[in-house]
Amino acid sequence: MPTRPGIIIPAVLFASWADKGLALVVMGGLCRIVSARVKTTTPSHGGRNVEGMTTSTLASGFLLTDEKDASRYTLHRDGNLVSVLDYRDDGRTVALTRAFTVPTFRGHGYAGVVVEGAVADIITRGDRKVDAVCWYVADWFDAHPEHAGLLRVR
């Protein structure tokens, strides 16, 4: 059975269709419209499983959050979501799959900040290797050879 056409929101970058087209799930708090079809979250993580998250405050007003239930690190600055780093964790290796910065905040190095925070978190845990799947993450590791020992050997 094909899915029904739904609402298209081109400005929302973290959107995926769920429940055979009956619901639009918007992650990252980018959509502020309240609707029965749209699930939104705010940087305060209202309605989310806060127990499964790790937060740390960085310098200059940054807030880095490991949203374990969404398998991503998020970076907020002054209450705004600025960058996201998606990952897959299999218990031995954390595959950093995609670094993304919201277009209006690009050009300020926020993707580097979220990758650096994620790497620091993985080092602190001390029980995982990193697989740099995303090209940006691979370039970040090339620019920071002091963390090369953290990379998984293929």
Domains in the chain, number: 2
Answer yes or no: do 136 and 107 share one domain. yes
Q: What is the pLDDT of residues 97-142, one digit of tens each?
A: 999 999 999 999 999 999 999 999 999 999 999 999 999 999 999 9
Domain that holds residue 93: 50-150
Encoding tokens for residue 39?
Answer: 């699930």
Please tell me the least confidently modeled range out of 7-11, 44-48, 50-54, 130-134. Answer: 7-11
Cα gap 85→63, rounded to integer Å: 13
Q: For residues 54 and 24, state if they share a domain.
A: no
Residue 49 has pLDDT above 70, yes or no: no
The answer to whether position 45 is within a domain reads no
Question: Would you say the C-alpha torsion 135, 78, 108, 32 has a positive or negative sign?
Answer: positive
Taking each continuous run of H as one helix and of E as one strand, the counts in the chain are: 2, 9
pLDDT bin (cut points 50, 70, 90) of residue 21 is: very low
